[in-house]
């Protein structure tokens, strides 16, 4: 079997007709997926470590390519935050190399058989974990996503088609070269990881409309991008929409824990999806806790927007509007509401939340149990910060994203989310009566 | 909390505007799902057994309603096969009652926590099995599906909206009354199971386009219905497309097992999705086995369509066309092909199969392992009949359908496929550093 493919297109001229180009990528990915499904763990790990070596030896090429992206970005008036996400430096390259080594060290789930048992008919039935097949990943400016996504798809035995942002074109191309060489060195098909060479938007439209070549789409980016892809895709999408996360401080809460958690969940990082956006405080402790919370938030420069009962306790707090309860601020802003007990807290979370991550702070056993059972979010927490909702913190070893979907993968998605299970049935000639 | 709803609409006049009616059903289902998520196992089982009691005591009403459907069906020129699927009699009602008792006896998966473990940060992380929420089921003439679907959704803690075929309108309505009474008796919300009262096709269009009220759609019926629903749905669909199943008889196969399996996989039932449609025979044993197979199939009146190499051995066999390799006959017809070893067999299955169920017959350890690993189908079998691909045969205790999708549920779908897992995180005040 030949695992060497022709050199991929690099320019729009080489790409030619975008739809036809994407179909070629799809066909090549499907063929590569057949090889990848059979790839042994050792070869996959060898490819990952070879990529890490190339990343090291090509460091200056990658930084130079990135410099070209950054120069173009500055010329195009890219915002400083985006330029920062785009930038690669020695520290970020070191992290990328380390990431590859970590993925190589993760256990290979492919081929795991669970639940094998005999049935009265004499057949033996279980389920084997297998790759999904071809994964399309659509993302924005951060070029390290190219490597992260490629490494996770590779380790889980999938082929992938990566479509990064146009801002990172040169960086992605330089990284893609390292990936292909790593695959080749390990004797794996180079087309197992293909980076879309054109920045034409039609490429995305085609990628999400080829169920014959692509098994699942994972979009990473802003909500509007993800909503558009979900609406238009003809391929299943594993998606992350928004994170309107809550902490509910119950009357029985330990005040010290409550303060620490409420402050950490809001101020540890503002722009992340697992950051708390609304804090709910049980009425009996509002008078005592709200002033302490307000003082702590004031230290961090967090703007508070409160309900009427909050404002009766905290003078000068801006009134929260209905939109505030739905808001994912991603900023040093917090909505505050005084509620009457867990029932009202759960009702609020159900009505305004995004089913991402919600936490209760309580010392009451029954309320902790009830919150865990009744709150319908991808992560439900007791006495800890919503900021822990993360693949690394959960011990997945890696994270391709956080799913707010209910089907297939929910919450942080690691290698397992890139696989599926098929039934395996062993017999000795049994037939059905 | 009130769990008693107003009497549901029963006629098109009571339904009024179809889109508005479906939205009302969706809202009621969403509210019921919140209650069902919290329902304890005992109440769910009590509801199932109360339904069984009602089914017993209302037996004559149900048979009378079914007689009205049958009479209308005959007037409308319904085919005999469809009339047979529509008919309810004492034996079928007994089976329905028994089905309810079996579902009541199944373990409740809701709330199961798996993998709870401590992380270096001190938090404890695991995953809890929880209901999906609201399930929309669209099906055709068999009225017993109404009860099966309702019982599985109920046991798994979901609310459901059931849209049956117009042919079974009166039967479904009589069964729905038993379901509602069973729910009421157990103190569960009656809207946990709603049967769409209108036969207007616009109801389906609305049902599959309300992601705010419906979490997943499960269509059961012909391929064209399912393809249309998948194309148009704005809600995730768990679907079963076609079953182009293969048996590959390897040169090392035990001839007796091979014959028994090849005959059973084709002739046990012709109209089922797990029936073999193409038989692949390894070249070294073709000359010996094909005449024996042909004789066995002749006894069952199975028409054979063969490749050139098959026809060189079996005179008088019709030539298979390219379409035959793709065909799901659902009839006493079999495509036959002589192949050169496992590589060619897997290539054939990959190219023409539907990734449903495929089996190898072999005594060779390495080939069995290879077939299991490399064939990308929802069920992969060694030395047994494809007819075993079934929720009951696999020990799921029940089956809502067979999924040919890769994401979420693959193969026979039982209670587990109607649930999802959320992360639960327990702490003692931990915050992220």
Each residue's pLDDT tens digit, A57-107: 999 999 999 999 999 999 999 999 889 989 999 999 999 999 999 999 999
Residues in chain B closer than 8 A to A117 (CB atoms): 395
pLDDT of A1 over the 50 cut: no
Residue A174 has pLDDT above 70, yes or no: yes
Residue A379 · residue A119 · CB < 8 Å: no
User: What are the sequence ranges of the domains in chain B?
Assistant: 12-239+413-424, 245-393
Above 90 in pLDDT, residue B100? yes
Confidence grade of residue A141 (pLDDT, cut at 50, 70, 90)? confident
Would you place residue B1 in the very low, low, confident or very high pLDDT band (cuts 50, 70, 90)? very low
Q: What does the pLDDT read at residue B239? A: 85
User: CATH class for domain A12-239+413-424?
Assistant: alpha beta
Nearest-Cα residue of chain B relative to residue A111:
B373
Report chain B's mean pLDDT, rounded to a whole number. 94
State the pLDDT at residue B2. Answer: 38
pLDDT at B262 over 90: yes
More confident residue, A142 or A32: A32
Establish how many alpha carbons lie within 13 A of residue A338's alpha carbon, considering only the half-sphere containing its beta carbon.
Answer: 20
| Res. A224: pLDDT tops 80 | yes
Query: What is the full DSSP assignment across A79-147?
Result: -HHHHHHH---HHHHHHHHHHHHHHHHSPP-TT-EEEEEE-TTS-EEEEEEEE-SEEEEE--S-THHHH
Q: For residue A192, name the pLDDT band (cuts at 50, 70, 90).
A: very high
Query: How high is the mean pLDDT of chain A?
Result: 94
Residue A271 phi, psi dihedral angles, 5° rounding: -95, 10
Between chains, do A385 and B132 touch, taking CB under 8 Å as contact?
Answer: no
pLDDT at B6: 58
What residues in A contact B410, CB-CB < 8 Å? 420-423
Contact B380 A424 (CB under 8 A): yes
**Interface contact A379-B406, CB threshold 8 A:** no
Cβ-Cβ contacts under 8 Å for A320 (sequence gap 6 or more): A305, A306, A307, A310, A335, A336, A337
Nearest CA distance, A433 vs chain B (angstrom):
8
Mutate to test the interface with B, among A127, A422, A426 (most CBs of B within 10 A): A422
Nearest residue on chain A to B357, alpha-carbon basis: A423
Closest by CA to A124, choosing from B402, B393, B264, is: B393
Give per-residue pLDDT as tens, B35-58.
999 999 999 999 999 999 999 999
Nearest to A423 among B231, B378, B423 (CB): B378
CB contact under 8 A, B384 and A423: no
Q: Give residues with Cβ within 8 angstroms of B333, minimum separation 6.
A: B302, B303, B304, B305, B327
Residues of chain A in contact with residue B372, where contact means CB-CB under 8 angstroms, are: 128, 424
Give the model's pLDDT for residue B3. 40
Is B115 in contact with B422 (CB distance < 8 Å)? no
Q: Summarize pLDDT for B138-193 with one digit per residue, the tens.
A: 998 789 999 999 999 999 999 999 999 999 999 999 999 999 999 999 999 999 99
**Residue A6: per-residue pLDDT:** 59
Q: How close does chain B come to A15, measured CA to CA in Å?
A: 28
B216–A388 C-beta distance less than 8 A: no
User: Average pLDDT, stretch B282-300?
Assistant: 98
Return the pLDDT at B241.
78
Q: Which residue has the higher pLDDT, B235 or A365?
A: A365
Q: How far is A170 from chain B (nearest CA, A)?
A: 34
- pLDDT (average), residues A411-419: 94
Least confident interval from A25-34, A213-222, A348-357, B352-361: A213-222
Q: Please tell me the pTM assigned to this model.
A: 0.91
Q: Is the ipTM of this complex over 0.90?
A: yes
B404 neighbors B355 (Cβ within 8 angstroms): yes
What per-residue confidence (pLDDT) applies to B4? 43
3-state DSSP assignment of residue A280: strand
Instruction: Please state which CATH class domain B245-393 belongs to.
Output: alpha beta
pLDDT of residue B13: 79
């Amino acid at each position: 079997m030949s695992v060497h493919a022709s050199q991929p297109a690099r320019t729009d001229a080489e790409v030619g007709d975008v739809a036809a180009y994407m179909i070629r990528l799809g066909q090549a990915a499907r063929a590569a997926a057949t090889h990848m499904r059979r790839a042994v763990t050792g070869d996959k790990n060898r490819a990952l470590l070879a990529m890490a070596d190339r990343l090291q030896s090509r460091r200056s090429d990658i930084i130079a390519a990135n410099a070209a992206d950054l120069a173009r970005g500055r010329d195009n008036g890219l915002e400083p935050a985006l330029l920062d996400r785009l930038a690669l430096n020695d520290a970020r390259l070191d992290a990328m190399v380390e990431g590859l080594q970590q993925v190589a060290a993760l256990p290979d789930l492919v081929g795991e058989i669970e639940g094998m048992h005999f049935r009265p008919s004499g057949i033996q039935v279980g389920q084997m974990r297998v790759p999904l097949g071809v994964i399309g990943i659509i993302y924005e400016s951060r070029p390290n996503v190219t490597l992260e996504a490629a490494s996770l798809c590779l380790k889980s035995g999938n082929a992938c088609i990566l479509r990064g942002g146009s801002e990172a074109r040169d960086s992605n191309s330089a990284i893609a070269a390292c990936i292909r060489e790593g695959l080749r060195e390990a004797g794996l098909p180079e087309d197992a990881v293909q980076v879309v060479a054109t920045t034409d938007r039609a490429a995305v439209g085609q990628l999400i409309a080829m169920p014959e070549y692509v098994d699942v789409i994972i979009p990473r980016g802003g909500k509007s991008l993800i909503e558009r892809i979900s609406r238009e895709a003809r391929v299943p999408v594993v998606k992350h929409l928004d994170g309107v996360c809550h902490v509910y401080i119950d009357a029985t809460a330990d005040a010290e824990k409550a303060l620490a958690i409420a402050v950490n969940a809001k101020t540890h990082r503002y722009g992340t999806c697992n950051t708390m956006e609304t804090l709910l405080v049980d009425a009996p402790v509002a008078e005592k806790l709200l002033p302490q919370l307000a003082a702590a938030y004031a230290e961090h420069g967090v703007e508070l927007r409160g309900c009427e009962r909050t404002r009766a306790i905290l003078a000068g707090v801006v009134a929260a509007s209905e939109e505030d309860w739905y808001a994912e601020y991603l900023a040093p802003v917090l909505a505050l509401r005084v509620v009457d007990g867990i029932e009202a807290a759960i009702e609020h979370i159900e009505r305004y939340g995004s089913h991402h991550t919600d936490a209760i702070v309580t010392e009451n056993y029954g309320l902790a149990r009830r919150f865990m059972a009744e709150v319908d979010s991808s992560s439900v927490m007791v006495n800890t910060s919503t900021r822990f909702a993360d693949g690394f913190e959960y011990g997945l070893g890696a994270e391709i994203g956080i799913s707010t979907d209910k089907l297939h993968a929910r919450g942080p998605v690691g290698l397992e989310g890139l696989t599926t299970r098929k039934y395996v049935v062993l017999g000795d000639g049994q037939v059905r009566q």
